[in-house]
Amino acid sequence: MAEGVSSIECAFWRAVFGSIFFIIHGAVSGAWKVESRQRIAFCLCGIPCVGMLFFIYMFGVSKAGAAATSVLANTAPIWISMWAYLVFKEAMSGGKIISIILAIGGAALIVLSGGGLPEKASLAGFIAGIATGFMFSLHALVGKFYMNVKISPVSIYMYMLPVGALCLLPFVDFAPDKSAFTWLCLAGMGFLSNWLAYLAFCEALRRLPATRVAVCQTATEPFLAALFAFLWWGEAFRPLGWAGVLLVVAAVIIVLLSKEKKRA
């Protein structure tokens, strides 16, 4: 954004470069060979899981700051607990219920604190952060469901990401004369934040319960996001905001430590 690229254009190029890496991977590995009905399903999933997710997340960063948006997005394990209960028959334990209450309280404190931006953050930005957590939870739902029937995550994302990029295209106002550094940053997001991160996430889903994967993935992110946002952009939470961060992390840890059981 500091190079003059809007938040929506950042999201668009992240999806485009992520698509390129997954398509190359799929072509080399043969993962593109799936049934027509599965291709259609993956493409449809690209609308909420990529198009809407990337749009909402980058909007939240621009309106509430990177630190607040990332922390609020880390309510994803709570949503995933709901999917795990409803779809995958994982039990909803007392610990998970407590974690939901803590996460909601933490999110409320972050909103009340004003976030991490020096200027006043907007309520729309906070809502976008929470919505990001919900949208990301759909990745666990889709990934776990299809990997249970032996579908490669490469197959899922090589169709999902291009559709998400197309959803973003009408909203993009392209910045002219991008530097080589800007293109490197955009390609890096596609490689690290899409191809590598989503592959790791899905490989974990293949081996562990959905709730535990989400919690492991988000256990350290609030602290790291807040740290980098402070070091790079001077986004510092007020004491009330840090209290909210601790509540969100506490909720995540409770889910992590709780034992997984199947629902009768």
Tell me the pLDDT tens digit for each residue of 65-119: 776 777 777 777 778 777 877 777 776 677 767 877 787 777 667 666 665 555 5
Residue 76 is encoded by which pair of tokens? 């994803």
Residue 128 pLDDT > 70 = yes
pLDDT at residue 148, as a whole number: 76
In a domain? residue 1? no
pLDDT at residue 190, as a whole number: 93
Residue 162 is part of which domain span? Answer: 7-170+177-257
In a domain? residue 240? yes
Residue with tokens 């319960």: 209
pLDDT at residue 180, as a whole number: 94
d(CA 14, CA 230): 23
In a domain? residue 264? no
In a domain? residue 2? no
Residue 200 is encoded by which pair of tokens? 């790791």
Tens digit of pLDDT for each residue in 218-261?
656 666 666 777 788 777 777 877 887 788 778 777 766 766 55
Q: How high does pLDDT run on average in the chain?
A: 81
Is the Cα dihedral 64, 68, 71, 75 positive or negative? negative
Task: Provide the β-strand partners of residue 262.
Answer: 90
Residue 215 pLDDT > 60 = yes
Most confident of 25-39, 120-134, 202-216: 25-39
Domain count, the chain: 1
In a domain? residue 83? yes
Say if CB 80 and CB 73 are below 8 A apart.
no
In a domain? residue 194? yes
d(CA 205, CA 214): 9
Residue 206 pLDDT > 90 = no
d(CA 95, CA 242): 22
pLDDT at residue 64, as a whole number: 77
In angstroms, the Cα distances linking 248 to 22, 50, 171, 224 are: 32, 24, 32, 14
In a domain? residue 193? yes
pLDDT at residue 127, as a whole number: 86
Q: How far is CA 57 from the centre of its chain?
A: 8
Nearest to 82 by CA among 104, 64, 97: 97
Burial (0-12, 13-18, 19+ Cβ within 10 Å), 47: middle
Of 87-91, 169-173, 192-196, the one with minimum mean pLDDT is: 87-91
Query: Percent of the chain having pLDDT more than 70?
Result: 83
pLDDT band at 158 (very low <50, low <70, confident <90, very high): very high
pLDDT at residue 20, as a whole number: 95
pLDDT at residue 259, as a whole number: 65
Model-level pTM? 0.72
In a domain? residue 262? no
